Structure 1
Amino acid sequence: MNTIEEEVPLGRRRRYSVEFKAHVVAACQGPGVSLAAIAFLHKLNANLLRRWV
């Protein structure tokens, strides 16, 4: 699954699709799941993922 819609030059914000966000948030819903570990697997900042959840 592609995490971003296109490669972004340095200094530009990435844009994530709604489907990608839903997939990652769903992965965080299990009991005992580490949000930081899920963020690391998807190359995201844990604080960004926390906002999505």
Structure 2
Amino acid sequence: MNTIEEEALPTRRRRRRYTEDFKARVVAACQGTGVSVSAVALEHRLNANLLRRWLDQAEGRLPKR
């Protein structure tokens, strides 16, 4: 008798892909004075570090991938 129930394997998370238009709109939302990058990231359900990378890329400090 098998007492361990077979559990379904969890599905693998897929990496999200964002369009250039979406990135541009979110970056533009961060351009105002006194705007919190963290708040904009939370509003769009993004990681703040990812948004910071997009900002650096938009300002030419990092090469685009």
* Runs of 4+ deviating beyond 2 Å: none
The number of equivalent residue pairs is 45
Question: Any gaps of 5 or more consecutive residues in structure 1?
Answer: 1-8
Query: Which structure is larger by alpha-carbon Rg, 1 or 2?
Result: 2
Where relative contact order (Cα < 8 A, 6+ residues apart) is larger, the structure is: 1
Length-normalised TM-score, structure 2: 0.66
* Aligned-residue CA RMSD (Å): 1.2
Q: Under a length normalisation based on structure 1, what TM-score does the superposition of the two structures give?
A: 0.80
1:28 is matched with 30
Percent identity, aligned pairs only, is 67
Structure 2: stretches of 5+ with no match in the other structure: 1-10, 56-65
